[in-house]
């Protein structure tokens, strides 16, 4: 466990020593530092750090504060596990190794995008791993709003400066994407890169099952699900939930274990219940955040099926606006 804790601290020192926020899209970036809570790898960050509610980004009107209050009554939260990766295909333990999607995984991400193409997305969070980022980007190519997802870069002053968008109109047609290591897959330690079947033959099926599916038992020099949940839920509480409370619609593209951790929090599951939870690759899950509570809505249906839009009046109205805009374009 000490080894994993050290790895968390090392990663955190690299990623968080500079502010990392959606306000980089604004003409005057905010300068609020991000800090760690030492015992839980938790980040103290105000909603304003990554808030996308700003006249220069989402709306050119002066009535934005009133719109924000109205908007904050309800927000959509979309969770997507990345599509199949090259190591999923090879049946290897992947963990925090950064491998891309397979051709099948690309297709899964695109199909996921079709399923959420009528659901509003204002802000995207992904892990720092390419398979989650590819999934988010590919999914958004199918969205009817046609906004462009742009990954925010803050690795250095030059990266921040060179990636700045100077067009206000372009910023309004963009969606900020925030990559956070706290949403990474569970670190599998010495199992990473090993074949799952061969590992079971070497250590025994029961032992490997405990490493993979138990809540508290970590693999050698790796993370348990409990440890993964600690960092993922802390990040969700500090950085994502405030955005939902402000009325921003959020999509999270991440991994099986980091998303299971978040779902455990959203659905108030026990440590036993979460170990039996399975998430398919490339299948989006929808939650509605309203009056401080999360309501599970299952998996959004495809664009030709209207079932999901009966769940809330706001989603139905959003689709009506998209339909009207599409018709106006045809006319």
188 is in an annotated binding site: yes
Residues 135 and 104: their CA atoms lie apart, in Å, by 12
pLDDT of residue 71: 52
182 is in which domain, residue-wise? 8-302
pLDDT of residue 301: 60
Between the CA of residue 28 and those of 24, 25, 297, what are the distances in Å? 8, 8, 38
Closest CA to 25 of 122, 137, 145: 122
Q: What is the CATH number of the domain that holds 25?
A: 3.40.50.1240
Which pLDDT tens digit goes with each residue over 259-301?
999 999 999 999 999 999 999 888 899 999 999 999 988 776 6
pLDDT of residue 311: 58
Q: Give me the helix-helix angle, 205-213 and 196-203, nearest 10°.
A: 120
302 is in an annotated binding site: no
| Residue ranges for the chain with pLDDT beneath 50 | 1-20, 23-24, 26-70, 303-310
Residues 33 and 28: their CA atoms lie apart, in Å, by 15
For 263, the 3-state DSSP assignment is helix
Other Cβ atoms within 10 Å of 288 Cβ, number: 19
Q: Considering the entire predicted model, what is its pTM?
A: 0.79
Whether 132 is in a domain gets the answer yes
Whether 25 is in a domain gets the answer yes
pLDDT of residue 96: 98
Whether 329 is in a domain gets the answer no
For 314-324, give one letter per residue: b (16+ CB within 10 A) or e.
bbeebbeebee
pLDDT of residue 2: 44
202 is in an annotated binding site: no
Q: How many domains does the chain have?
A: 1
Whether 308 is in a domain gets the answer no
pLDDT of residue 76: 95
Beta strands 174-179 and 123-126, pairing class: parallel
Whether 72 is in a domain gets the answer yes
Element (H or E) spanning 68, and its range?
Answer: helix 64-71
Whether 1 is in a domain gets the answer no
pLDDT of residue 296: 87
Residues with a catalytic annotation lie at 82, 185
Whether 197 is in a domain gets the answer yes
198 is in an annotated binding site: no
Whether 286 is in a domain gets the answer yes
């Amino acid at each position: 466990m000490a080894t994993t804790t050290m790895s968390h601290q090392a990663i955190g020192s690299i990623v968080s020593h500079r502010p990392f926020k959606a306000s980089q899209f604004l003409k005057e970036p905010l300068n609020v530092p991000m800090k760690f809570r030492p015992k839980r790898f938790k980040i103290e960050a105000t909603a304003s750090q990554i808030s996308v509610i700003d006249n220069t980004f989402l709306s050119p009107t002066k009535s934005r504060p009133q719109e924000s209050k109205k908007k904050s009554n309800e927000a959509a939260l979309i969770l997507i596990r990345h599509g199949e990766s090259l190591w999923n295909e090879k049946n290897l333990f992947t963990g925090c190794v950064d491998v891309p999607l397979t051709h099948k995984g690309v297709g899964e991400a695109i199909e996921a995008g079709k399923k959420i193409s009528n659901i509003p997305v204002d802000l995207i969070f992904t892990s720092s791993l390419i398979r989650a980022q590819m999934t988010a980007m590919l999914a958004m190519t199918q969205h009817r709003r046609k906004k462009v997802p742009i990954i925010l870069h803050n690795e250095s002053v030059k990266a921040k400066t060179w990636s700045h968008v100077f067009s206000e109109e372009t910023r309004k047609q963009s969606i900020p994407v925030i990559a956070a290591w706290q949403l990474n897959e569970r670190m599998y330690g010495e199992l990473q890169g090993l074949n799952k079947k061969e590992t079971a033959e070497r250590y025994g099926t029961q032992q490997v099952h405990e490493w993979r599916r138990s809540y508290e038992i970590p693999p050698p020099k790796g993370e348990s699900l409990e440890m993964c949940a600690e960092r993922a839920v802390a990040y969700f509480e500090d950085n994502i939930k405030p955005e939902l409370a402000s009325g921003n619609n959020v999509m999270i593209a991440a991994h099986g274990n980091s998303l299971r951790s978040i779902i455990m929090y959203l659905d108030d599951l026990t440590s036993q219940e979460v170990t039996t939870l399975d998430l398919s690759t490339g299948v989006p899950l929808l939650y509605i955040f309203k009056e401080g509570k999360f309501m599970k809505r299952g998996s959004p249906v495809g664009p030709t099926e209207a079932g999901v839009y009966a769940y809330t009046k706001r989603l139905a109205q959003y689709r009506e606006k998209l339909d009207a805009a599409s018709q106006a374009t045809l006319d």
